[in-house]
Chains A and B, each alone.
Chain A
Amino acid sequence: MKELPNRGKKQTTDSLSEIMNIDRLVHSPARLSILTYLSVVEEGDAVYLLNQTGLTWGNLSANVTRLQEAGYIEVVKEFKAKKPHTLLKLTDKGRKAFQGYQNKMKGLLDIKSLSPGGT
């Protein structure tokens, strides 16, 4: 088997440790989708997220709760015309976590594309 050059080995080790350090809270497809759609607006309500992400109400609610507990999003429950209205907003912490995740993933994909056998 052809041995990888030292630089390739180092990169593989780095990328593996990067994978281990990835923010798992953001990494879930549902939560990543929620964070993505909240990152492109200042604030949006639950109906907006339901439409854009395609999640069910139960799934959205469960993932929103996890993100809220982590301090990544802020949830404001209010009444509009006597109807409950849930407003969601990405916090600074959430925005940083989302950007950090993006950078890490981009770095990982770049390393993968540079490494031998990478596409």
Chain B
Amino acid sequence: MDNTEEKQIERRVFTSFFQAGFIEAFTGIFLLQLGLPALFSRSGFGDWQSALFALPIALILLIVVLLVRRFVVIPRLGHVKFLPERRRRISKLIIVPIITLIAGAIVGYIFSENASLRHTFVGQIPFSLIPIIVFSAAAYFLDMKRLYVYGVIVGLTFPLGKYLETAIVSRNALPVTILSIAFVFLGIAIVFLVAFLRKYQETGV
């Protein structure tokens, strides 16, 4: 066995800790948190009110996911402390929120300079690029290729919603598109979790 094979085994062990659908669940919750306030605000609520109504839903789902991880998944997978090299890669994930903040600030500045841009198809491009960059960074540092695909899907959600908004002339098309993709991710997460539970039984040792 050479170093490459050991790396492959280590990668397989590491990725096995993400097979219960947590990444999909977090992505779904993230999209839900974007789609719900947009839907509420289009239904006549103010921006702050919409955000406040959506927040508890996302928080409850987040707590459920974390509890499932703590009490259902980890007892079945076991506890592992990864090698320092892997831990360093994970710690580099801190770069993801930094990228998000910088990109968000740039987009915010552009829109503050030209508010009408926000409601155009071109105005959705930054909303596409941010998730693609963020998911790509996460894919690179976590060494998980499927995150690149998720980045593209999430990234395409915004221009697709905007396109549908103009194509079918429905002001709810954008939030409905975002929420549909969110539910797809949450559905995938549930399928992954069920598959995981069928594969792994609690050993109690």
Contact = CB atoms under 8 A, between A and B. Distances in A.
Given A41-B80, A45-B78, A52 B203 contact: no
Interface string A40-55: 1111111111111000
Nearest to A36: B9
Contacts of B200: 51
Contacts of B204: 83
B6 A40 contact: yes
Contacts of B82: 41-42
13 contacts: A36-B1, A40-B6, A41-B81, A43-B80, A44-B81, A46-B78, A47-B78, A48-B77, A51-B76, A52-B13, A57-B205, A102-B2, A105-B1
B79 interface: yes
Nearest to B3: A102
B10 interface: yes
B79 A37 contact: no
Summarize B's interface: helix, strand, loop or mixed: mixed
Interface string A45-78: 1111111100001000000000000000000000
A86 interface: yes
B78 A51 contact: yes
B84 interface: yes
Interface in B63-114: 75-84
Summarize A's interface: helix, strand, loop or mixed: helix
B89 to A, nearest CB: 14
A39 interface: yes
Interface of A: 36-37, 39-52, 57, 83-87, 102, 105-106
A92 to B, nearest CB: 14
A66 B203 CA distance: 22
B84 A42 contact: yes
B78 A50 contact: yes
- Which size class do B's interface residues fall under? 20 to 34
B63 to A, nearest CB: 19
B80 A45 contact: yes
Given A46-B205, A86-B205, A106 B1 contact: yes
Given A48-B78, A49-B78, A41 B205 contact: no
B78 A40 contact: no
A41 B81 CA distance: 6
A106 B14 CA distance: 26
A41 B83 contact: yes
B101 to A, nearest CB: 32
B142 to A, nearest CB: 16
Contact of A102 (B1, B76, B77, B79): B1
Given A42-B84, A47-B79, 12 more contacts: A37-B13, A40-B10, A41-B10, A47-B203, A48-B77, A49-B78, A50-B203, A51-B16, A52-B13, A57-B205, A84-B205, A86-B205
